[in-house]
Every structure is written in structure tokens, then in C-alpha cells.
Amino acid sequence: MVKSRTAVLATLAAAQLLVLPAIGVAQTSGSETSMTPALTKMSSEVFLAGLAPTLGNEPASRLEMKFEVTFMKIDVAQLEARVAPTVSALIEPLVRNGQRDDAAKAQIAGWLMDPSAPILLTMEYLRDADYGRFQKGLRISMEQAAASGAITEDEAEKLTAQLTEESAPLEESGVAKGGILAHYISDDAVRTIYLEPDGTILLDRSRDDAILGRALRASWFGQKSRFRDKLLRSLFE
């Protein structure tokens, strides 16, 4: 049987991503591993296919939206969530039957928040943004996770400080048009990678942090998330 192009890309990219720690300089502290800017480069297509090759391949397994600055009506980022087959199997009948009422959407959001179900959250920047704006986005996301009830306000403050410190490799350049920030979350494990537009992996950090994983999910799918409604609506479009 001839493998599809997507399957081949996923196989190659998964192998390449697995050897990244040997390319950068790893710094380990407790359950956390961080990477200095690596020299490896890859295309965004290969990058995303390899980061979570089993996610986003089934019907109703991808949620997408463009995020815009409301008062300027300017798209600033393309968001995509890729979900596990076990979750898409639950979502697909609701989508097929057109069940888009609030109760159905709340049920879907609950499945997406399940820590036992792996998920890949990616944000591709459509415009350059300095580090200050990037930090502001982190803070708002954690505040909305707290407002949704997934974490406490104290945890939101600590996570904002933690994520700001972890994103130090982006401080000088900010984020660029075409750059991709990805979070792969599975159980307590959270892996965060930032891919430059030229394919350079500038940030690669893995940690066991159940609170962070819960906060990131809630910042996308929690009741107070600025992304929730458009992401859920995308399943039915």
C-alpha cells in the first residue's frame, strides 16, 4: 500500500522532532526540560504533522478560527486545535446531526477540557508582534482561564510569570508573521514549541504541569475564553 503524503510527512517529522533534544542544549530541572535555540529547521507543515501525528486526522477533529483585534478588525493569528480520535468520535455525531445548541457546545467543550485526551493547540501569527504584546496575550489567557474556573487567580498570576520567563528566547525578536506557537498537552505533560517563519525552532520546553495543561485548555475552551465560541462554531461550518 502506498502511504499518503500526509502519513509520510507525519512519520518523517515525528522522527525529526524526537531527536531535537540532541541538537539543542538541554537544561533539566526537576520534571522540566528546556532547550536553547536549536539549529534544526523544518517547514511548518512537517512540524505540525510530526508534533502530534495521531491528532486531527478524523472527521470533526480540527477546530479553527482567525483571531482579530476587534477595534481594528485586523486578523492577528490563525488558531487550530487538533484533537484525539477518542474525542472526535464523540463530537462527530453532534456535528453530523447539526446539534449546535448551547448544551451541545458545552458538552464538546467539556470533552476538549478532559486532561486524559491529548490535544495540540497551535497559533500561527499573521502579523509581527513585539514581546510586550506577546506577554499581554499570555496574561489575558491566564486571566480568562481563572475566570472560567479552571484555575485560581493566584495560579493565573504564577503561570503568567512562569510563561513569561519560559518565553525569554522571544524577548529580543518578539513573534513574527508566520511564526507558530504550539502546545501539545497529554495528561500532565505539556510541550511548548515556537517555530520561526524560516523553520528555526527557537523554543522547545517540556514539563509535567497539570495546572498549566488545564489553564491552556481553559484559555481556549473555557466559558470565559475569547476563542471558545468561534472555535466551537467552526466544527459546524
Helix H segments across the chain?
5-18, 44-51, 85-96, 102-112, 131-147, 153-166, 210-221, 228-234
Chain mean pLDDT for the chain: 84
CA–CA distance, 197 with 181 (Å, rounded to integer): 11
CA–CA distance, 76 with 177 (Å, rounded to integer): 9
The CATH number of whichever domain residue 79 belongs to comes to 3.50.70.10
Low-confidence ranges of the chain (pLDDT < 50): 1-31, 33-39
| pLDDT tens digits along 214-234 | 999 999 999 999 999 999 999
How do beta strands 26-29 and 189-195 pair?
unpaired
Cell (9 digits) for 134? 506577546
Predicted pLDDT of residue 50? 87
Predicted pLDDT of residue 42? 63
| pLDDT tens digits along 186-201 | 999 999 999 999 989 9
Q: Using CB atoms within 10 A of its CB, is residue 31 exposed (0-12), middle (13-18) or buried (19+)? A: exposed
Predicted pLDDT of residue 57? 94
| pLDDT tens digits along 141-172 | 999 999 999 999 999 999 999 999 999 999 88
Q: What domain count does the chain have? A: 1
CB 51 within 8 A of CB 121: no
State the DSSP H helix or E strand holding residue 170, giving kind and residue range, or none if neither. Answer: none
User: Which structural domain, as residue segments, surrounds residue 26?
Assistant: 5-234
Residue among 58, 50, 61, 57 nearest 10 (CA): 50
Cβ-Cβ contacts under 8 Å for 122 (sequence gap 6 or more): 48, 79, 80, 81, 82, 180, 181, 182, 183
Cell (9 digits) for 233? 462554531
State the DSSP H helix or E strand holding residue 151, giving kind and residue range, or none if neither. Answer: none
Predicted pLDDT of residue 115? 96
Buried b / exposed e over 10-26, threshold 16 CB at 10 Å, is: beebbeebeebeeebee
